[in-house]
Amino acid sequence: MAVLTGGLAACGDDSEPQESTTTASPIDRSTDSPSSSESSSSSESETSSGDGSGDGAELPDDLPPEARKNTKEGAAAFGEYYYEAVGEASHSGVTTDLAPLGDDECTPCSKVVSNIEQDAAKGQTRSAKPYSLSNVKAAERPDQGFKVSMTVDVKAHHVYENDKIIGDVEKTQYMLTEHVVWSGGRWHIADWVIS
């Protein structure tokens, strides 16, 4: 039985222009701490305070400092963090850190959270964090925010239900494109699509 993530949703317009890109460095969470995330700047226009956004949602403590900055590199780092959080939530069944990262109107964001929560309620999780991300790039969109794109490698893994294997996911690769916007002093995922 082959199973793909419940969050493989597509929505929105992929007609952003081809502009210059910035490659994000891999995120190293081993040195991140909540207290170090805002040591360099306290300007609301450049960074988030780390205590949430205008919508009252709290940002995860392990969100790296670069993903808290209102810069092109910050958008790329936030987009990368978001999809890593999707992978972690699909492995653990816990969406606490994932849910506040998406905009309230982001259909694929709410759908992936809902699917993971429904699977977890049935006792379904994945045997491993399934995703490995590379070639993370950000390009400014003409409307607002950034188009963040990356290559997603999905490793072969099992799907469990109450500690029994109920399916296998085959190794695959796809492109992920996210629309990342700055609002309320922090980044949000406004939309994403897989191709």
> Would you say residue 149 lies in a domain?
yes
> Would you say residue 19 lies in a domain?
no
> Would you say residue 49 lies in a domain?
no
Return mean pLDDT, the chain.
79
The model's pLDDT over 46-99, given as tens digits with 9 standing for 90+, comes to 333 333 333 446 899 999 999 999 999 999 999 999 999 999 999 999 999 999
**How many folded domains does the chain comprise?**
1
Evaluate whether 112 touches 84 at the Cβ level (below 8 Å): no
The model's pTM: 0.74
> Would you say residue 4 lies in a domain?
yes
Q: Which domain holds residue 182?
A: 1-12+66-195
Q: Is residue 159 exposed (0-12), middle (13-18) or buried (19+ Cβ within 10 Å)?
A: buried
Looking at the DSSP assignment, which residues form a beta bridge with residue 148? 138, 178
> Would you say residue 59 lies in a domain?
no
Specify the CATH number for the domain of residue 85.
3.10.450.50
Side chain identity, residue 115:
N
> Would you say residue 175 lies in a domain?
yes
